[in-house]
Amino acid sequence: MTGGLPDIDRMVELLESGRGDGLYSGAALGVGTSDERRIRVVGEREVDGEPVTADTRFDLASLTKPVATTTVVARLVERGELALDATLGEHLDSVADTPRESIPVQSLLTHTSGLPPYKSFPYGWDSREALVESVADSPIGVLAPPGELHVYSGLNFVLLSELVRTITDGTLAAAFDRFVGSPLDLDETAFGPLSGVPVAATRDRKWRERTLRGEIHDYMGAAANGESGNAGLFSTAGDLATVAQLLLKGGRHDGTQVLAPTTVERLSEDGTPELDARQGLGWRLGTQTRPATGWGEDALGHTGFTGTSLWLDPTEDLFVVALTNRVLVTEETQALQRLRTRLHEVAAATRADSNER
């Protein structure tokens, strides 16, 4: 059912309760349709710190995959500089004579490349070059031929970021600014590390063992100085609302066609129907319970390990952005997942209520 906005006050109450339960120190919420939005914030950037404001940047973690890397790749495909069925070997000399050379771009975007989760790889990278070399030519092989197995892995996006750099002869950050950030006026979105802007703090409990303020939480993202493709982007609820509205409007922003309508449709198509994974190009797709009951299977979205999420439903003309800094205060994940589900349930249910009145 399309129509009015959900009960954002009730959603803010839920976020306040999560903060009270110690799930994060602060949060930002964006709720809206293709033509309307509301932004709310709660809490502090860190415990006993400055308050979260509308311009507070959150470390998006894996939300980087669909928002940044996938969108840049889509623009390169639209420009004819890259094809979804092109293999890595056609563009990257570093994968020549390895099992990776035959992996198609589409398999990287749908996590069907056969590459293992990146936690399977030995850590110790100290640069982007070392990271890419390790992923491109590692003794750890692929788990299955492309298209036969769905395994979520950040390694897919490390290789996609290298493709972007090779094709554009520049950085992933520069390509994002050119193809996404500038056309959408995302003035509060950038790859880390950041300084001189308000940032919600996180904490690395495994490697650096300290609070991070503008540094990238993800290990690969930090090692690559923001160029890993799987993580590293920082943004606000307002800028992510703009991204959501772009997709809800069929690729249009402020009167300009930033993405072709056919590209937007392709992003939300199930690229793994035979594997029952409900995976689009870079985006996860809705199920009866994902992101929550009341959302349709046309929904697409993603989450980030730091405590972030973005979900939108083109059929219902609805989006919800929920940004938190969970990893600052806890390693536990299940409680935030339950809260996030409830948040999306309330969004669907209270919108239905408003339409019936």
H-assigned helices in the chain:
8-20, 64, 71-78, 105-109, 128-136, 155-168, 172-176, 219-223, 237-248, 261-267, 326-329, 334-356
For residue 118, the model assigns a pLDDT of 75
User: In percent, how much of the chain has pLDDT > 70?
Assistant: 95
Cis peptide before 291 (omega within 30 of 0): yes
Single out the residue of 57, 324, 301, 38 nearest to residue 189, CA to CA.
Answer: 57
Q: For the residues 257-277, what does the mean pLDDT come to?
A: 95
Q: Is pLDDT of 309 > 80? A: yes
- The confidence band for 357, taking pLDDT boundaries of 50, 70 and 90, is very low
Q: Is pLDDT of 355 > 60? A: no
Q: Residue 44 gets which letter from DSSP? A: B
Q: For the residues 115-135, what does the mean pLDDT come to?
A: 79
Round to whole Å and give the CA distance between 250 and 65. Answer: 20
- The confidence band for 284, taking pLDDT boundaries of 50, 70 and 90, is very high
For residue 123, the model assigns a pLDDT of 64
Round to whole Å and give the CA distance between 324 and 60. Answer: 9
Distances (CA, A) of 13 to 9, 19, 241, 300, 305: 6, 10, 20, 25, 23
Tens of pLDDT, residues 127-180: 898 888 888 877 666 788 999 999 999 999 999 999 999 999 999 999 999 999
Token pair of 224 as six digits: 């690559």
Tens of pLDDT, residues 40-62: 999 999 999 999 999 999 999 99
Q: Is pLDDT of 276 > 80? A: yes
H-assigned helices in 118-217:
128-136, 155-168, 172-176
- The confidence band for 336, taking pLDDT boundaries of 50, 70 and 90, is very high
* 227: amino acid identity, one letter: E
The chain-wide mean pLDDT, for the chain, equals: 94
Q: Is pLDDT of 352 > 90? A: no
Round to whole Å and give the CA distance between 355 and 196. Answer: 43
Q: Is pLDDT of 339 > 80? A: yes
Q: For the residues 115-138, what does the mean pLDDT come to?
A: 79
For residue 226, the model assigns a pLDDT of 96
* Residues pairing with 41 in the sheet: 28
Q: Is pLDDT of 121 > 70? A: no
Tens of pLDDT, residues 182-228: 999 999 999 999 999 999 999 999 889 999 999 999 999 999 999 99
